[in-house]
Copies of this chain bind each other. A is one copy, B any other.
Amino acid sequence: MRYFDARVIENRSLGGGYFVLRLGGCEPLAGSRPGQFIMLRGDWGRDPLLPRPLSLLSVAHEGRADLLAKVVGKGTALMERSPPGSRVSVLGPLGNSFPAPSADVTDLLVAGGVGLPPLFMQAESAAHLGLANGSEMLYGGRTSRDLVLLGEIRGFGIALRLATEDGSLGRRGRVTDELEARLDRGRAAASAQPLRIMACGPRQMLWAVGRIAQSHGIDCYLSLEEQMACGIGVCLGCAVAAQTRPYRYVCKDGPVFPASEVMAHVSVASTSQSRGGAQ
């Protein structure tokens, strides 16, 4: 983990508020693994104040790193408008990663909307390791505009199934419908390979994926998001309720958690208690 200055070398709009930011000067990110993220901050004064966590989409030679983001507020809007040449500060790589692709398991990579990056990078890594046929990606969004980088994903040579809520591309429905269908087919085919699920996307989708995995008895890894200030385990802001101890931290214990570790406490995690606000 290092803290360094980088530079936007390309900023490609994908429509629908999605964009790929290509950074140069990211040598310290070499060797980053799928699921890891960075804290990114542009040269934008005090508004917004804190850096923003973004997952790595791809890390290439010569200090190139790609990010995929979607405009949801001020920080991402400013990133989307950063012209090539803009300076950014980067803290990373941060957090843990998905388990590495293996010849002994078939990985179902379940991506919802802008949750794509870690799974994209996982697919890329599987392709590099020559294990593309052991990975399948299930990728869902609200409309076809939410499904991006499809050419690149196909280029990895992994199976890709799409779902959109409005039916504009792929199956009409949620990506979890696609996942259940896949598992039902798998059961019918009684495939030899054990399965593993890795997922990233909206909270509700993740809990649904976790429940499906649980009910099928499949190993499942979820990449979580939480508000972050530091990204390195000091502010204790990114707590999520967990099984093994009261809280785990997305930035240092995650962002990838075994579903079993964070699922049992789903209801606790969304509890609001009215107590005093001491730090």
Residues of B within 8 A of A4 (CB): none
In the complex, whether A46 has a CB less than 8 A from a CB of chain B is: yes
By a CB distance below 8 angstroms, the chain B residues around A44 are 45, 47
Count class of interface residues, chain A = under 10
Q: With CB as the reference atom, state the residue of chain B lying closest to A48.
A: B45
CB distance from A43 to the nearest CB of B (A): 10
**Chain A binding surface SS class:** loop
Q: Does A74 reach chain B (CB closer than 8 Å)?
A: yes
Inter-chain contacts of A45 with B (CB < 8 A): 44-45, 47-48, 74
- Number of copies of this protein chain within its complex: 2
CB contact list, A40-80 vs B, under 8 A: 44-48, 74
Q: Which of A44, A45, A48 has the most CB of B within 10 A?
A: A45
Near B by CB (< 8 A), chain A positions 8-61 give 44-48
| Chain B residues with CB under 8 A of A46 | 46-47
Shortest C-beta distance, A119 to chain B (Å), equals: 33
* Closest chain B CB from A42 CB (angstroms): 12
CA distance A47 to B49 in the complex (A): 10
Least CB distance, A172 to chain B, in whole angstroms: 39
CB of A10 to closest CB in B, whole Å: 18
Q: Please report the C-alpha to C-alpha distance between residue A50 and residue B46 in the assembled complex, in whole angstroms.
A: 14
Q: Which of A47, A48, A74 has the most CB of B within 10 A?
A: A47
| Distance, CA A74 to CA B45, complexed state (A) | 9
In the complex, the chain B residue whose C-beta lies closest to that of A74 is: B45
Bound Cα distance from A82 to B48, whole angstroms? 19
Closest B residue, CB atoms, query A47: B45
Question: In the complex, which residues of chain B have a beta carbon less than 8 angstroms from the beta carbon of A47?
Answer: 44-47
Q: How far is the CB of A56 from chain B (nearest CB, A)?
A: 27
Closest to A44 in B: B45
Complex: A44 Cα to B45 Cα, angstroms: 9
Task: Please indicate the chain B residues that have their CB under 8 angstroms from the CB of A74 in the complex.
Answer: 45
- Tell me the minimal C-beta distance from A225 to chain B in angstroms: 23
Bound complex: CA A45 to CA B73 (Å): 12
Shortest distance in angstroms between A46's beta carbon and chain B's nearest beta carbon? 4
Min CB–CB distance A163 → chain B (angstroms): 37
Shortest CB distance A49–B (Å): 9
CA distance A221 to B44 in the complex (A): 40
Complex Cα gap A44–B74 (Å): 10
7 contacts between A and B (CB under 8 A): A44-B47, A45-B45, A45-B48, A45-B74, A46-B46, A46-B47, A47-B47
Q: Which residues of A contact B (CB under 8 A)?
A: 44-48, 74
Closest 3 CB pairs of A and B: A45-B47, A46-B47, A47-B47
